[in-house]
């Protein structure tokens, strides 16, 4: 039995220990909380940025910002110390492609169900086409969403670039933190990027009905905006705003690798280099993807295995589908290997456990931990222009960090805390006691051997019979229940944990009140240690060609007498 972490008295206190508020214009009702949010996280293994590590680190934060990061540093007088011995501290993640705290996109008016709708239904002097909404500014309507924020924090994120995922021009995003605070506090940057796509979204207008129509509309809009800037032809707030947002990073969402090439080509026509939010299938033609010169925002949404137990069902699947299942988890690793710059996004995931699992799967398929961490922290911070405030753990930046039970990408590691702008949020409570081990348990007149393992607990009622037991610990209190005999009624015990032993009262199988006591008799046999999983296999894997051409092409296409030539080598 070992006490693993010394926490300040009561997590509840932390949760309400708000840093001095920046909302200085707001009146308050009651007694003003004037605490500064001064904390020192000590004895942690701290990863300030990918590829670096500070052992026995002391991280001091105040008023939401990082004051110092030192190895073995002293806790300043007045700071609240959080002993994180055995824990890891990482910068929290940043998602460049998110929709958070924004109203759902709605059509501008009644759509034409039976009638084509030739023009926009939107009131006001805006674009002729409803799918063009450069005037939408996320920061103007952003409202923190407690439930969604909790989900983001559980995935390890501290900041997101939130935008409304609707329309060809989707308007601008805001970089916001996922703290539970007023918008005044959590909006860190307005107009962080201009987002575009090839999908018209909820627009009920007829045009465009096709992908080529969407491309043509975007192309014409670049020209119209240029004309608008040079003439006083008409009043048009969409075009005015379109011109305004051109100085921002341009982020283009596509749905497959060929669309990435199309977007890049469109950008080239007008001297724009888009950041491209890809579909996760870039591995199919990574050579062409690389030639775009774009930085990719890569999702980690991998298809589940198909149920192929019935051969006729399996017959319906294309080779491309089968391959995508196999190759998608290796996509990010391949991009890293080929030197395509990229960041990662949680887009496509709503369950935190799925996102973390997918992240680990990508790492098992060859993505280095450093590349993964960089793609979730520093790189997006730089692309969003918030590198002065976020992305690494260094002095002066926002105190946005994670406290984890082990190396974050290792199987089984848990996020305990997600600190956002200097405020702690508990994701998985740090267990106050490591209970694993062997115990001699005396309950009433009977004696048992209690064994608490990583996966479960058992009670030996005699030399040959072990029965499952339930052991729960919370806040220094423990409860234990198990059947007194095989198939018999349950014994229920409750009590306190101390350094020396556990003890308390309970009811036996007959409902009689009893005293109980447990003392340690040995270390746990299966030590709970985070373990790195080895990659499933190296890249490229056996059933994929050594290079990564378009799959079907490689298999079904060229292999006649002449070797395949690249087009540039052909004298045409």
Contact 211, 199 (CB under 8 A): no
Piece of the chain touching another protein by CB under 8 A; list 271-279, 303-311, 392-400, 447-455: 303-311
258 binds another protein (CB under 8 A): yes
DSSP bridge pairs for 276: 252, 296
Q: Return the number of the residue (296 or 448) whose C-beta is nearest another protein.
A: 296
CA distances from 157 to 91, 160, 182 (A): 9, 7, 18
Q: In this structure, what is the dihedral angle of CA atoms 12, 17, 18, 20, given to the nearest 10 degrees? A: 170
Nearest-approach distance from CB 540 to another protein, in angstroms: 13
If the CB atoms of residues 107 and 483 are measured against another protein, the closer one turns out to be: 107
Residues 268 to 287 in contact with another protein, rule: CB under 8 A: 285
Which residues 191-220 are close enough to bind another protein by CB under 8 A? 205-213, 215-216, 219-220
**To the nearest whole angstrom, how small is the minimum distance from the Cβ of residue 319 to another protein?**
6
**What angle is formed at CA 48 by the lines to CA 44 and CA 51, rounded to 5 degrees?**
110
By CB under 8 A, name the one of 115, 123, 143, 512 that touches another protein: 115
Cα 480 to Cα 494: distance, rounded to the nearest angstrom: 6
Instruction: Specify the residue, 16 or 237, whose C-beta has the smaller distance to another protein.
Output: 237
261 binds another protein (CB under 8 A): yes
* Whole-angstrom Cα Rg for the chain: 29
- Which residues in the 392-411 window bind another protein by CB under 8 A? none
Smallest gap from residue 217 Cβ to another protein (A): 8
Residue 309 is a binding residue for another protein (CB under 8 A):
yes
Does position 314 interact with another protein (CB under 8 A)? The reply is yes
Please give the structure tokens belonging to residue 460.
């030996």
**Sign of dihedral through CA atoms 156, 161, 167, 168?**
negative
**Does 303 interact with another protein (rule: CB under 8 A)?**
yes
Residue 180 or 326: the one with the smaller Cβ distance to another protein is 326
SS3 readout for 378-437: HHHHHHCCCCCCCCCCCCCCECCEEEECCCCCCECCCEEEEEECCEEEECCCCCCEECCE
Tell me how far, at minimum, the Cβ of 284 lies from another protein, in Å. 8
Q: Structure tokens of 516?
A: 């109980």
Residue 323 is a binding residue for another protein (CB under 8 A):
yes
562 belongs to the binding site for another protein (CB under 8 A): yes
Task: Report if residue 515 touches another protein, rule: CB under 8 A.
Answer: no
- Compute the distance between CA of residue 475 and CA of residue 493 in angstroms, rounded to an integer: 16
Quote the CA–CA distance of 120 and 168 in Å, as a whole number.
14
Query: CB under 8 A: which stretch of 26-34, 304-312, 363-371, 388-396 binds another protein?
Result: 304-312
Q: φ and ψ at 44, to 5 degrees?
A: -90, 160
Contact call for residue 313 and another protein (CB under 8 A)? yes
* Choices 62-70, 130-138, 517-525, 551-559 (CB under 8 A): range interacting with another protein: 551-559
Nearer residue to another protein within complex by CB, 65 or 122: 122
In the complex, the smallest distance separating the C-beta of residue 225 from another protein, rounded to whole angstroms, is 11
Neighbour-count burial of 569, counting CB atoms closer than 10 A to its CB (0-12 exposed, 13-18 middle, 19+ buried)? exposed
């Amino acid at each position: 039995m070992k006490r693993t972490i010394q926490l300040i008295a009561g997590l509840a206190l932390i949760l309400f220990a708000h840093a001095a508020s920046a909302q200085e214009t707001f009146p308050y009702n009651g007694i003003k909380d004037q605490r500064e949010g001064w904390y020192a996280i000590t004895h942690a293994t701290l990863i300030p940025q990918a590829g670096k590590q500070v052992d026995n680190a002391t991280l001091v934060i105040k008023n939401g910002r990082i004051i110092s990061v030192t190895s073995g540093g002293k806790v300043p007088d007045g700071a609240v110390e959080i002993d994180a011995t055995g824990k890891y501290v990482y910068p929290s993640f940043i998602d460049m492609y998110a929709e958070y705290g924004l109203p759902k996109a709605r059509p501008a008016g009644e759509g034409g169900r039976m009638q084509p709708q030739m023009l926009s239904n939107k009131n006001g002097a805006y674009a002729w086409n409803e799918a063009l909404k450069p005037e939408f500014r996320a920061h103007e309507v952003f409202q923190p969403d407690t439930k969604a924020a909790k989900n983001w924090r559980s995935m390890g994120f501290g900041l997101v670039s939130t935008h409304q995922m609707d329309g060809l021009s989707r308007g601008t995003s805001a970089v916001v933190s996922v703290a539970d605070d007023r918008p005044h506090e959590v909006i860190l940057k307005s107009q962080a990027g201009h987002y575009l796509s090839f999908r018209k979204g909820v627009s009920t207008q007829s045009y465009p009905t096709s992908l080529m129509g969407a491309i043509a509309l975007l192309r014409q809009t670049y020209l119209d905006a240029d004309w608008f800037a040079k003439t006083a032809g008409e009043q048009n707030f969409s075009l005015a705003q379109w011109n305004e947002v051109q100085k921002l990073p341009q982020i283009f969402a596509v749905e497959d690798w060929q669309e990435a090439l199309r977007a890049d080509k469109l950008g080239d026509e007008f001297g724009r280099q888009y950041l491209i939010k890809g579909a996760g299938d870039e591995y199919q033609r990574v050579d062409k993807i690389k030639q775009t010169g774009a930085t990719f925002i890569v999702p980690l949404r991998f298809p589940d295995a198909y149920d192929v137990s019935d051969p006729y069902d399996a017959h319906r699947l294309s080779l491309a589908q089968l391959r995508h299942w196999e190759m998608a988890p290796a996509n990010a690793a391949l991009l890293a290997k080929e030197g395509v710059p990229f960041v990662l996004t949680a887009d496509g995931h709503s369950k935190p456990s799925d996102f973390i699992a997918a992240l680990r799967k990508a790492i098992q398929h060859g993505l280095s931990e450093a590349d993964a961490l960089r793609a979730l922290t520093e790189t997006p911070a730089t692309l969003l222009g918030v590198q002065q405030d976020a992305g690494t753990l260094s002095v002066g930046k926002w105190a946005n960090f994670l406290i984890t039970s082990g190396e974050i990408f290792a199987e089984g590691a848990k996020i305990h805390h997600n600190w956002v702008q200097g405020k702690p949020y508990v994701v998985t409570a740090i267990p106050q006691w490591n209970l694993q081990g062997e115990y001699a348990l005396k309950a009433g007149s009977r004696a048992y051997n209690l064994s608490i393992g990583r996966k479960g607990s058992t009670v030996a009622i005699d030399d040959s019979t072990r029965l499952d037991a339930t052991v729960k610990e919370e806040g220094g209190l423990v409860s234990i229940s198990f059947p007194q005999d095989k198939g018999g009624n349950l014994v229920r015990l409750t009590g306190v944990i101390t350094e020396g032993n556990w003890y308390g009262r309970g009811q036996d199988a007959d409902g009689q009140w009893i005293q109980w006591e447990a003392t340690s008799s040995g270390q746990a046999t299966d030590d709970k240690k985070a373990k790195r999983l080895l990659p499933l296999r190296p890249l490229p894997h056996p059933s994929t060609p050594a290079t990564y051409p378009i799959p079907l092409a490689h298999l079904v296409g060229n292999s006649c007498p002449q070797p395949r030539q690249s087009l540039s080598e052909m004298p045409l």
